[in-house]
């Protein structure tokens, strides 16, 4: 998805004027003046294609995803810190990272696009169905993204291991806990880096106070980053009042 649409600045000013009439002490002759500006935001959402594997929930470092159930997909919560680990982890790319840029100049312009997020390694190592527990309800078949599970007439569910990707959707939705899975999930791919300008830092400790994983600290007169803990979210860079911390994409990230 890559969409741009515009509206006239005059139309936006008209909308502001209409809404202002509902505010007390605003004169009817009020004429809004909207200055040129730009706002860039990032959103993460989960599409209906979610296969209910809950891998994103397991890997979220700040517990900001509501788990999926057979009746509903997983959901990103307000606590999300935009680290994108869920998007890297989702086996079917149902987690979308969306960049929105709104700008006002002579016109009002909105630009929305999906960001391309690399995918972590995910492999099935071993998967088994306990035939004594399986009740052939077919729920696993409904959510398997590769059609690796079959249920023949009067038989228990069978898994084609050559098709299984190890996502764990079947494990999560099976009402009888009849499926066990061992998988290989690779490390998070580094697509960004956190840059710290020690000279610009005013030692306010806002970064330390707001880091969701306690990865950044002020030690004496220097900001120290624990790269093993850092999840490369955008909290400290957005909170820093003097722009001493910047989160930048690596050159290979699109």
CA angle 172, 177, 181 (to 5 degrees): 65
CA distance 231 to 228: 8
Last residue of a domain, one of 114, 131, 151: 114
pLDDT for the residue numbered 253: 45
Same domain, 130 and 69: no
Q: How many domains does the chain have?
A: 3
Same domain, 89 and 146: no
Residue 29: CATH number of its domain: 3.30.70.20
Tokens 């306690």 label which residue? 214
Examine residue 242 and state whether it is found in any structural domain, yes or no: yes
What pLDDT score was predicted for residue 31? Answer: 75
Q: Are 127 and 83 found together in one domain? A: no
Domain contains 254? no
Do 76 and 166 belong together in one domain? Answer: no
Residue 165 falls inside a structural domain: yes
Residue 10 within a domain: yes
Same structural domain, 49 and 153:
no
Q: What is the pLDDT of residue 221?
A: 86
- Whether residues 237 and 169 share a domain: the answer is no
The one-character DSSP state at 35 is: P
Same domain, residue pair 50 and 143? no
If asked whether residues 138 and 180 sit together in one domain, one would say: yes
62 plus 143 within the same structural domain: no
Cβ 56 vs Cβ 74: under 8 Å:
yes
Pair of tokens at residue 60: 């979220």
Q: Which helix (H) or strand (E) holds 19?
A: helix 9-20
Q: What is the dihedral of CA 182, 59, 96, 54, to 10 degrees?
A: 50
198 is a domain residue = yes
What is the pLDDT at residue 252?
A: 55
Structural domain containing residue 88: 2-114
Statement to judge: residues 107 and 134 lie in one domain:
no
Domain boundary among 185, 212, 233: 185
- Residue at a domain's end among 185, 200, 227: 185
Residue 92 domain flag = yes
Asked whether the beta carbons of 217 and 208 are under 8 A apart, the reply is yes
Q: Given this model, what pLDDT does residue 27 score? A: 67
If asked whether residues 126 and 108 sit together in one domain, one would say no
Q: Is 165 exposed, middle or buried (0-12, 13-18, 19+ CB in 10 A)?
A: middle
Contact 120, 17 (CB under 8 A): no
pLDDT of residue 229: 96
Mean pLDDT per 10-residue segment, the chain (254 residues): 82 77 68 83 95 97 96 95 97 96 88 94 96 93 95 90 96 96 96 95 95 95 94 95 94 54
Answer yes or no: do 163 and 212 share one domain: no
The model's pTM is 0.85
40 domain-assigned: yes
């Amino acid at each position: 998805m890559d969409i741009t649409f515009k509206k006239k600045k005059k139309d936006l000013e008209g909308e502001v004027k209409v809404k202002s009439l509902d505010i007390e002490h605003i004169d009817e002759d009020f004429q809004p003046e909207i200055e040129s500006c730009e706002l860039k935001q990032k959103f993460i959402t989960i599409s209906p294609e979610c296969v209910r594997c809950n891998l994103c929930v397991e890997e979220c470092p700040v517990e900001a995803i509501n788990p999926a159930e057979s009746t509903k997909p997983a959901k990103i919560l307000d606590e999300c810190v935009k680290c994108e680990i869920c998007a890297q982890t989702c086996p079917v790319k149902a987690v979308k990272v969306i960049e929105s840029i709104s700008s006002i100049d002579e016109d009002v312009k909105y630009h929305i696009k999906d960001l391309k997020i690399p995918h972590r390694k995910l492999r099935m190592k071993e998967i088994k169905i306990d035939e004594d527990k399986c009740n052939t309800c077919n729920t696993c078949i409904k959510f398997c993204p590769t059609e690796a599970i079959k249920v023949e007439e009067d038989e228990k569910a069978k898994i084609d291991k050559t098709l299984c990707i190890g996502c764990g959707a079947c494990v999560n939705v099976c009402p009888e806990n009849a499926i066990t899975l061992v998988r290989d999930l690779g490390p998070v791919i580094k697509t960004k880096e956190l840059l710290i300008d020690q000279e610009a830092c005013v030692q306010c400790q806002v970064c330390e106070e707001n880091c969701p994983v306690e990865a950044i600290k002020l030690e004496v007169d220097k900001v120290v980053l624990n790269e093993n803990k850092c999840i490369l979210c955008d909290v400290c860079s957005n909170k820093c009042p003097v722009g001493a911390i910047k989160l930048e994409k690596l050159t290979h990230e699109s």
